[in-house]
Amino acid sequence: MKNISFIIIFRFSVFLILLCGLYSCELPVTSFEDVEDAVYYYKYQPVAPQPGSTIKVTTWNIRFGIGRGEWFGDACGTKAIYTEAEVLPNLQLIVDRINQVKPDILLLQELDINSKRSGYVDQLKWIMDRTYFGYAVYGLQWQAQFIPSDGLGRLHEANAILSRWPLASATRIQLALRGDQDKLTRYFYERPCMVQAKVEIPGVTDFYAVNIHASAFATDDTKYKHFAAFKEELDNIANSGGWFVAGGDLNTLPPGSDSIDFCYEDICLGESFHQPGDDPQHKEGSNYAPEEEWLKPLYDKYKCAVPLNDYQQNQPAYFTHTTEPELTFNRTLDYLFTNSNWNPKSTVTHQDFFYESDHAPVSSEVVLIRK
């Protein structure tokens, strides 16, 4: 009888433990709902500053804190894993620049939160702890327990909005997955998203920040779908009487760009493109020819911090990205849009921020619409 009771109690304990385990089970890859809550970060509860007539907004793809490192995925490198000791100095450079520029709202892309490739540093917390921002939200663009490729391992990559003022109604909006990948690759690959939040600035009517990181390497119409979804979201805000500042890394060129094919600029040793028999003919993410008009609807309806005319008259002045670790920026991929107005002459493309990332940040001052 004693032994039977022991066995019953023992087995029941097993099931209790299993129940706990079921709720903690982590799938190999996390997929997302079409729209779900973003994750909030709070550093402290500061006294929210009273804004002037304008606030400064910056967008920056910080390349998960590896600076100009020769990463295998986008710079013809052989290195996949960076240690904490390698990442933290680059993050410090980024923090120094943020504290120098002092944006009121910061849109960050390619922010790693606890990824093996960047030393398992929670980069959002690290940046928040060393800057003046009191509020942030993020949406994960890539969440995998273990990627069995190139030793990537655990990967959590996010888009984040940092703000001096409280953020509310923050949502993560799923964008289309790449249609040009096989199912297995797509399962483990990133899931692009937008992050949107209402910025609760005192005395300012409904004001939103929207951060997007469109697909970098899709060779089909995936990017077009991203731009359409982006514009649709901005239209929804505008149509409901709201105001926004929106932007990020759109991974395509403005209409009218002189150079639209970067296969030779981005080519790695052993690769060949544009030659008869080459398959593929173009390097993934380097040929923008099919995309020339894809951003036109955005430019037509909303105000870009760098007006299209200004860009077309002096394109190199607004370049924000390169794949070459040693060279300066050679194309424009990063944008800021608003349905309000930009403060004239306030836009800066920070091309002097050379070592912090393979993207230059773009800053501008947006006019606030008071209640």
Q: Which residues bind to other proteins, rule: CB under 8 A?
A: 3-4, 6-8, 10-12, 14-15, 17-22, 24-26, 72, 78-81, 83, 114, 116, 120, 122, 145-146, 148-154, 184-185
Nearer to other proteins, 12 or 264 (CB): 12
**What's the per-residue H, E or C state across 232-296?**
HHHHHHHHCCCEEEEEEECCCCCCCCCCCECHHHHCCCCCCCCCCCCCCCCCCCCECHHHCCCCH
Nearer to other proteins, 24 or 275 (CB): 24
CB of 182 to other proteins, least distance (A): 10
Nearer to other proteins, 24 or 100 (CB): 24
- Pairwise CA distance, residues 325 & 352, whole Å: 14
State residue 65 phi and psi, 5-degree precision.
75, 15
CB of 8 to other proteins, least distance (A): 5
Nearer to other proteins, 153 or 256 (CB): 153
Query: Which is nearest to 151 in space by CA: 117, 115, 119, 123?
Result: 117
Nearer to other proteins, 113 or 197 (CB): 113
CB of 125 to other proteins, least distance (A): 11
Q: Which residue is listed with tokens 């209790």?
A: 16
- Pairwise CA distance, residues 72 & 78, whole Å: 5
Q: Which residue is listed with tokens 């304990």?
A: 13
- Pairwise CA distance, residues 360 & 27, whole Å: 35
Structure tokens at 285: 């993410």
CB of 102 to other proteins, least distance (A): 31
Those residues whose C-beta lies under 8 Å from the C-beta of residue 312, and which sit 6 or more positions away, are 254, 256
Nearer to other proteins, 119 or 134 (CB): 119
DSSP letter for each residue of 294-349: TTHHHHHHSEESS-HHHHHHSGGGG--B-S-TTS---B--EEEEESS-BPTT--EE
Structure tokens at 371: 């209640």
Q: How many CB atoms lie within 10 A of CB 110?
A: 26
Nearer to other proteins, 153 or 290 (CB): 153
DSSP-based three-state secondary structure for 148:
coil
CB of 124 to other proteins, least distance (A): 14
Nearer to other proteins, 158 or 214 (CB): 158
CB of 148 to other proteins, least distance (A): 6
CB of 58 to other proteins, least distance (A): 29
CB of 145 to other proteins, least distance (A): 8
